């Protein structure tokens, strides 16, 4: 009797212990069969959060379809599209606090959409070659208090061609004196300019419908052949409470610049400049539809360039047609509110 009693008691105790273990852990899981930390209503809670998550995923997937009719909302969304990932994090925290299994599952949709859009940027796409031409572009800021130091930093980057924007008339002499020693060939058009180690020819202003020069084109005669180089500074955009994302003038200038590039007879074309827009912004389609981004094709990460104090968007661009980027990167901050950006280019046919 004692033996039978002992055996039966041991069996019940083991079973209780096993059931207790399973109850504790299954209750912590969203689909657990026993009430616990998540409880039996885990799939019924957070339906609003789940709906918001699905809408966010739809906004990522159909970002090009978000209308611009009201305050250019679509362009504003596309400009800061990478930062939409923070909304996923906020919703994730809310779903955990709400203990909603439904919201957690729904969050997979925007997460996968975001990874599909930007996941490839986190792989290092830098090529193994040294490149035939190194280019740098920098919006130096019209109010730059150290133009010589800024110019010297760009020279130290090893660039063969340097494009500048916001070269004010009062500081143009400082940039010339600092750059001409290493880049003796240069042309200025209004507030944009090109400095080169190699001879320049056929330099001219490009009309981008602004009323004053903010874009130019020149042919650079490199050891690997001629390259058409555009330096451009598209109009600024503003985010205002009443009018929204005001970008009408920029959009018109982008169309004019894209048309000029499309009709350029050169086999190899580079665009260096501050476009005041990202590659996701549909308003830049006249340009982005025919050229490749050096950062997107050969960079590592987003390569944000503005504002320099806390970069949130890449509105400065190096773009190519008929040539291949080898690598792309941002340079250390200068006295400007933009970061300089650089790229190595392969000009081999």
What pLDDT shows up at residue 260? Answer: 98
Instruction: Find the range with the poorest average confidence among 70-74, 80-84, 186-190, 253-257.
Output: 70-74
Q: Which domain holds residue 167?
A: 126-346
35 inside domain: no
Q: How many angstroms separate the CA atoms of 279 and 288, rounded?
A: 7
4 inside domain: no
Instruction: Find the range with the poorest average confidence among 52-66, 118-132, 219-233, 262-276.
Output: 118-132
Is there a contact between 197 and 183 (Cβ–Cβ < 8 Å)?
yes
What pLDDT shows up at residue 245? Answer: 58
159 shares its domain with 204 = yes
257 inside domain: yes
228 shares its domain with 302 = yes
What pLDDT shows up at residue 242? Answer: 55
pLDDT (tens digit, 9 = 90+) per residue, 147-175? 999 999 999 999 999 999 999 999 999 99
87 shares its domain with 205 = no
181 inside domain: yes
65 shares its domain with 45 = yes
Is there a contact between 193 and 174 (Cβ–Cβ < 8 Å)?
no
What pLDDT shows up at residue 23? Answer: 47
Last residue of a domain, one of 78, 97, 121: 121
Q: How many angstroms separate the CA atoms of 234 and 262, rounded?
A: 17
Q: How many angstroms separate the CA atoms of 222 and 320, rounded?
A: 16
100 shares its domain with 185 = no
270 inside domain: yes
CA torsion, points 98, 104, 107, 108, in degrees to nearest 10? Answer: 170
Last residue of a domain, one of 67, 99, 121: 121
**82's tokens:** 């990478």
pLDDT (tens digit, 9 = 90+) per residue, 44-74? 899 999 999 999 999 999 999 998 777 778 8
pLDDT band of 40, cuts 50, 70, 90: low
User: Is the pLDDT higher at 28 or at 128?
Assistant: 128
What pLDDT shows up at residue 246? Answer: 60
Is there a contact between 183 and 162 (Cβ–Cβ < 8 Å)?
yes
173 shares its domain with 191 = yes
Q: Long-range contacts for 239-242 (Cβ within 8 Å, ≥24 apart)?
A: 239/76
Is there a contact between 151 and 163 (Cβ–Cβ < 8 Å)?
no
What pLDDT shows up at residue 67? Answer: 87
What pLDDT shows up at residue 130? Answer: 83
103 shares its domain with 217 = no
pLDDT (tens digit, 9 = 90+) per residue, 243-256? 455 677 989 999 99
334 shares its domain with 286 = yes
pLDDT band of 12, cuts 50, 70, 90: very low
pLDDT at 6 over 70: no
Q: Average the pLDDT over 287-311 and give the result.
A: 96
As for how many domains the chain has, the answer is 2
339 inside domain: yes
pLDDT at 21 over 60: no
54 shares its domain with 149 = no
92 shares its domain with 173 = no
Q: Give the whole-number percent of the chain exceeding pLDDT 70.
A: 86
CATH number of the domain that 153 lies in?
3.60.10.10
191 inside domain: yes
pLDDT at 3 over 80: no
27 inside domain: no
What pLDDT shows up at residue 7? Answer: 41
Last residue of a domain, one of 121, 147, 173: 121
User: Is the pLDDT higher at 44 or at 129?
Assistant: 44
What pLDDT shows up at residue 36? Answer: 52
pLDDT (tens digit, 9 = 90+) per residue, 306-343? 999 999 999 999 999 999 999 999 999 999 999 999 99
Is there a contact between 134 and 160 (Cβ–Cβ < 8 Å)?
yes
pLDDT band of 275, cuts 50, 70, 90: very high
Half-sphere exposure of 341 (CA within 13 A, CB side): 34
The chain-wide mean pLDDT, for the chain, equals 89
331 shares its domain with 218 = yes
What pLDDT shows up at residue 25? Answer: 40
What pLDDT shows up at residue 247? Answer: 72
Q: Long-range contacts for 309-314 (Cβ within 8 Å, ≥24 apart)?
A: 309/333, 309/337, 311/339, 312/80, 312/83, 313/79, 313/80, 313/278, 314/278, 314/279, 314/341
Q: Which helix (H) or strand (E) holds 224?
A: none
What pLDDT shows up at residue 58? Answer: 97
Q: Average the pLDDT over 92-110 and give the result.
A: 96
159 shares its domain with 63 = no
């Amino acid at each position: 009797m004692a033996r039978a009693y002992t055996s039966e008691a041991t069996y019940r105790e083991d079973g209780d212990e096993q059931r207790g273990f399973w109850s504790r852990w299954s209750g912590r899981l969203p689909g657990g069969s026993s009430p616990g930390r998540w409880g039996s209503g885990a799939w019924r809670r957070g339906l609003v959060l789940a709906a918001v998550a699905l809408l966010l995923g739809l906004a990522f997937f159909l970002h090009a379809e978000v209308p611009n009719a009201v305050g250019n909302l679509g362009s504003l969304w596309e400009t800061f599209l990478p930062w939409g990932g923070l909304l996923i994090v906020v919703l994730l925290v809310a779903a955990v606090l709400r203990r909603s299994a439904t919201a957690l599952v729904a969050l997979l949709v925007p997460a996968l959409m975001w990874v599909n859009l930007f996941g490839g940027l986190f792989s290092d796409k830098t090529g193994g070659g040294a490149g035939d031409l190194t280019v740098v572009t920098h919006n130096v800021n019209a109010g730059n208090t150290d133009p010589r130091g800024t110019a010297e930093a760009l020279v130290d980057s090893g660039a063969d061609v340097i494009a500048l924007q916001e070269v004010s008339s009062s500081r143009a002499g400082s940039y010339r004196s600092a750059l001409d020693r290493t880049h003796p060939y240069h042309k200025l058009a209004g507030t944009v300019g090109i400095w080169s180690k190699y001879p320049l020819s056929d330099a001219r202003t490009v009309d981008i419908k602004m009323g004053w020069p903010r874009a130019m084109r020149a042919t650079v005669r490199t050891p690997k052949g001629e390259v058409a180089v555009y330096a451009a500074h598209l109009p600024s955009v503003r985010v205002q409470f009443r009018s929204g994302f005001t970008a009408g003038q920029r959009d018109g200038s982008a169309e004019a610049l894209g048309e000029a590039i499309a009709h350029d007879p050169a086999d190899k074309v580079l665009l260096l400049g501050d476009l005041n827009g990202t590659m996701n912004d549909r308003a830049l389609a006249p340009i982005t539809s025919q050229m490749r981004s050096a950062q997107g094709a050969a960079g590592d990460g987003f390569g944000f360039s503005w504002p320099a104090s806390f970069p949130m968007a890449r509105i400065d661009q190096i773009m190519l047609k008929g040539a291949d980027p080898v690598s792309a990167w941002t340079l250390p901050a200068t006295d400007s509110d933009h970061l300089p950006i650089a790229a190595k280019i392969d000009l081999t046919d």
